[in-house]
Structure 1
Amino acid sequence: MSRYNEGDRVKVKITAIKPYGAFVQTPDKTDGLIHISEVMDDFVHSIGDHLSKGQIVVAKVKSIEPSGKLNLTLKDNEHFNKKKTTYSSVIDEVISTETLGFESLKQHMPEWIARGKQL
């Protein structure tokens, strides 16, 4: 019987990162998994961009397996669920919006070129 219940918030330490998720452990040594789809609402290409081994996060118990292992989510954790608002490149900015057509691209081009020269 697990001491945790669905919906509980629990502090966990990341013990391993795999392409599909992060393995975690609670302070009382209960194992769990944060699947890559449970890191945030936005698409996560690489979980290593958001989590790292040894990191401590507060996650919500999504479900508990019969073995007692926890399935966790970070989706309602404000730190991880922030939508990307700053862009590391013009390409990110273009990809992030569907309102940019050919005319819009033409209008934005001088600004992007000027920004690129500042780097």
Structure 2
Amino acid sequence: MMVKYRKGQFVKVKVTGIQPYGAFVETPDHVEGLIHISEVMNDYIHNLNVFLSVGQTVKAKILDVAADGKLNLTLKENDYFRRQERKKEKKSVLDEISQDQSIGFESLRQKLPEWLAKAEQL
């Protein structure tokens, strides 16, 4: 029995292949689809293999159904990938150092108590 897929529907898919531009997936009833690399999360992804692997099953949202029945999917509404984005939002205190600041051992010693206090708040 062939399931009729529609835009906005969530579906579990299995990753069947990974390319630099996205992941090929398949539904349980063998309908093929693609999750473009830009649809995994809002952050830049250099290597899709860090987030997906062949054989992995993920919950994806259908963005579009092509005339030939193939699915265009997104993971941006998947809770797991949203959590991954939030982890990346936490930045190191070293990111706050501007390039024009003089950095040396004495400067680091002066800033260390402030950085430790900030780290404890996270």
Following TM superposition, the consecutive aligned residue runs of length 4 or more in structure 1 with deviations greater than 3 angstroms are: 92-95, 102-111
Partner secondary structure for residue 87 of structure 2: coil
Instruction: Count how many residue pairs are aligned between Structure 1 and Structure 2.
Output: 105
Contact map agreement 1:15 1:23 (CA 8 A) in 2: yes
Equivalence for 1:62: 63
Name the counterpart of 1:117: none
Distance 1:19 1:105, change over 3 A: farther
1:100 match: 97
For normalisation by structure 1, the TM-score amounts to 0.74
Contact 2:14 2:25 in 1 (8 A): yes
C-alpha deviation, 1:100, in angstroms: 3.0
More helix by share: 2
Equivalent-residue separation in structure 1 for 2:107 and 2:73 (angstroms): 41
User: What is the one-letter code of the residue matched to 1:100?
Assistant: I
Find the counterpart in structure 2 of residue 39 from structure 1: 40
Q: TM-score, normalised by structure 2?
A: 0.73
TM-aligned CA distance change 1:45 to 1:94, over 3 Å: farther
Unaligned runs of 5+ residues in structure 2 are: 113-122
- CA radius of gyration, larger in: 2
- 2:10 partner letter: R
Matching residue of 2:87: 85
**Residue aligned with 1:32, SS:** strand
Q: What residue number does 1:4 align with? A: 5
> What residue in structure 1 maps to residue 30 of structure 2?
29
Q: For structure 1, which runs of at least 5 residues remain unmatched after alignment?
A: 87-91, 112-119
1:108, 1:85 → 2: CA distance? 28
Kindly tell me: are residues 105 and 34 of structure 1, through their superposed partners in 2, closer, same or farther at Cα, counting changes over 3 Å? farther
Deviation at 1:78, TM superposition (A): 1.3
Shift in alpha-carbon separation, 1:104–1:3, aligned structure 2, 3 A: farther
Displacement, 1:81?
2.0
